[in-house]
């Protein structure tokens, strides 16, 4: 299991998401983050090409899109959280 870091932007995104999310949505997010922490090479991830010097990945779970990277072995840094804003 990796250690994890929540970027400032991820924390802002999470705070906004929590205001409109259902308990089911929050549980889904929690489970998805745990799965990424357990295995940062989770099947279904795609490269984001955001910073070629430090690769990052996008992972979709339902309507959520999680942007993360592994800045060093054993560490996952969550960068952004995207969801449909209606």
Chain position carrying tokens 């929050």: 26
Please report which confidence band the pLDDT of residue 23 belongs to, taking 50, 70 and 90 as the band edges.
very high
pLDDT at 48: 93
CATH 3.30.2310.20 fits 3-82, yes or no: yes
Residue of 15, 8, 83, 80 whose CA lies nearest to 51: 80
Q: Looking at residues 22-27, what average pLDDT do you find?
A: 92
Question: 74 near 1, Cβ under 8 Å?
Answer: no
* Domain definitions of the chain by residue range: 3-82
pLDDT at 86: 66
Question: 78 near 5, Cβ under 8 Å?
Answer: yes
Render pLDDT for 62-73 as a digit per residue (tens, 0 to 9): 899 999 999 999
Q: Looking at residues 22-47, what average pLDDT do you find?
A: 95
């Amino acid at each position: 299991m990796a250690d994890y870091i929540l970027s400032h932007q991820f924390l802002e995104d999470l705070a906004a998401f929590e205001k409109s999310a259902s308990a089911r949505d929050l549980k889904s997010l929690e489970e998805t983050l745990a799965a990424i922490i357990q295995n940062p090479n989770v099947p279904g991830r795609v490269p984001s090409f955001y910073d070629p010097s430090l690769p990052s990945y996008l992972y979709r779970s339902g309507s959520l899109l999680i942007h993360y990277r592994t800045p060093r072995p054993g560490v996952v840094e969550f960068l952004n959280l995207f969801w449909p804003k209606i």
